[in-house]
Amino acid sequence: MRVCVFGFICTCLPILYASSLPGILPDGQTLPSLAPMLSKVTPSIVNIATYATVEVRNPLLEDPFFRRFFDLPNTRRRYRRAQSAGSGVIVDAKKGYIITNHHVIHRADEIHVTLGDGRTLSATLVGTDNKVDLAVLKVDAKDLVEIELTDSRKTRVGDFVVAIGNPFGLAQTVTSGIVSALGRSGLGIQGYEDFIQTDASINPGNSGGALVDLRGRLIGINTAIIAPSGGNVGIGFAIPSNMVGAIMQQLIKHGEVRRGNVGLTVQGLNIELAQAFGVDRNRGVVVVEVEEESAAEKANIEAGDIIIGINKHAIEKVVDYHALMAVVVVGDSLRFDYLRDGKENSTDIEISEESAQLFGVRLDPRLAGCRLQNFKSDDDASNAVGILVTDVDHDSMAWEQGLRAGDIIVAVNKRSVGDLREFRQNLKLNSREILLRVYRSGRYGYVVLH
């Protein structure tokens, strides 16, 4: 069976291996191997060990009725030291930047990186983005080896790929397979999903590791698997290198991804909608809603427009649109190609500071885990003007104390706010707690953050 597999690779990929084959059989035939490529790539793959202090919780002891019934005193919170492991990829040898998954280093207060040559280094967190599940670390070391990123848009279903990481703590483990599918989304793994699917074995500990082509170039960062039995079943997912590169630049520059909000809600174009709109195509996305005073509205995009391209990239499905929106940042200029009344049009959409989403932690540590954005609505029943909470991490303090995605913050510390600038100013009025007046589901209420 092995001979058949190697024979197949040899006949299909003679050019890739011709210059790097390590041995010759007695009959003069060359023996194919991935070893030359791996010797170049594996030094750029690192093992990541994280340490965090976590609370040990007992639901029974937290129940007031249970404590009263057994006459138990209020107990102090208990904590323990937790350790976890993952993988990472060196992307800048001179500056010591390493890319990994957000979930690998989430809540870690101590991060150690072990290089392929055995050195163990302390790493600092440069920035993280949980919406795409990426993070950038930095180490201070010499003689690092970086990986080359390639254009993931050129990746095809059926291409041979190799996954490199540290599954179950087994350093420098290599598995191979093919690209099973492209543009996987709707999995509920992350906020923005545009995954490369592969059957190369990916297991716990592989997260943050590299998915490379046969030339050793990075085409994705391994991030998740479907594992109904708890182990690998040949369905793994990687974040495409193009998305990795764009997010990485933002994290290095700003420590966060300063995403811009185009202001559109879209749905896929199907045969029925194409007939209803009188167009002879069924690929694209239909604009369902345009936010007032958004970048899209200023560019005269209207509900019913059919977007077919952005910056010369074809938009055929909703996943294509969301994949591009994942890397749209403040300062970008987007060229939208769309159909209106059967005619093709183009317009430029400028992503300004006003459309930016801001990480709450940049305003105050008690707002860690949420994203905020300026908000104004003329047709809402509340006529609300303030700050829109676009997202809240479920394991953050902001969530535990009652803040939710979709909340509109209209006042901070008993002073009304109309934009993020006023929000920042009002936060300084009370250092002990943050009193937020929010509009949610047609009603006003208060949320206190300690």
DSSP codes joined into one string, 192-242: S--EEEE-S---TT-TT-EEE-TTSEEEEEEEEE--TTSS--S-EEEEEHH
Q: How far is CA 249 from CA 97, 106, 128, 154, in A?
A: 11, 20, 11, 21
Report which of 410, 378, 406, 409 is spatially closest to residue 390, judged by C-alpha positions.
406
212 dihedral zone (left: phi>0; alpha: psi -120 to 50; beta): beta
Element (DSSP H or E) covering residue 438: strand 434-440
d(CA 350, CA 329): 10
d(CA 200, CA 361): 37
For residue 352, the SS3 value is coil
Identity of residue 43: P
Tokens standing for residue 440? 């949610």
Q: Is-contact 222 206, C-beta < 8 A?
A: yes
d(CA 430, CA 426): 8
Query: Where in the sequence numbering do the catalytic residues fall?
Result: 103, 133, 207
